[in-house]
Amino acid sequence: MIIKILAEGGKMKPGPALSQKLGPLGMNMGDIISKVNEATQEMKGLKVPVEININPETKDFSVQVFSPPVSELLKKELGIEKGSGEQSKIQVANASIEQIISVSKTKFQNLLARNLKEAVKSVAGTCVSLGILIESKSPQEIIQEINQGKYDKEISEEKIETSEEKKAELKEYFDNIHQEQEKKIKQEKAAKEAEEEKAAPKEEKDASKEEKK
């Protein structure tokens, strides 16, 4: 039988979900975890799709590792832990087109793309759901520019190195965006608290005043 899991590269640990699957088979969980960690050692910091093929009769097993999801590759490339939960309001990173090309090259064989240009557009599409800007623009705008041929040179040359000057420009733009986002979040939080206080019964307000004293 085949058990499919999403393991943290090189750092898989015992868990209830895996125990429920392996327990009835009488498998040694320690041996399997060790094998998975060994197979994913070079993918630390990534969530990696893994298939464990088990023979219930002989207790023999094999481990097959697949390419990490595009979202995981993007997070590692950009040094972020997670995507945005509110893509329309919160952006979490500002990628260069070179970084998008780099991820596209890594994942190309697993994408349903005819060529690298199509793969770049696919990866840019994933940036939408994660809340990642590209070249200080929305991913949707970048996809339009790709269609118009703006990045044909970078894609055809498979350019994956971002100049220090561009990195600094992208960081400066994102830092400003981040500050504005934080300011807006604080304002919304304050407004929400004010509304809740206004709507609270008189007894609760009096109790709150007493606590502040």
3 state SS of 127: helix
CATH 3.50.50.60 fits 70-188, yes or no: no
Q: 40 near 77, Cβ under 8 Å? A: no
End-to-end Cα distance, the chain: 65
Domain 2-65: CATH class, spelled out: alpha beta
Closest CA to 54 of 101, 18, 85, 81: 18
The overall average pLDDT reported for the chain is 88
Residue 173 has pLDDT above 60, yes or no: yes
**Domains 2-65 and 70-188 in one fold:** no
Residue 212 pLDDT: 53
Q: Kindly report, residue by residue over 91-121, the tens digit of the pLDDT.
A: 999 999 999 999 999 888 888 889 999 999 9
**pLDDT at residue 203 tops 60:** no
Q: Sign of the CA dihedral 189, 191, 197, 200?
A: negative
**Across the chain, which distance is largest between two alpha carbons, in Å?**
71
Give dist(CA 104, CA 120) in Å, integer.
5
In sequence order, which ranges of the chain are alpha helices (DSSP H)? 16-22, 29-39, 70-78, 97-107, 116-130, 139-147, 152-156, 164-199, 202-212
For residue range 35-46, list pLDDT tens digits in order.
999 999 888 888
pLDDT at 44: 82
Q: Confidence class of residue 138 from pLDDT cuts 50, 70 and 90?
A: very high
Average pLDDT value for residue range 16-20: 81
**What are the residue ranges spanned by the domains of the chain?**
2-65, 70-188
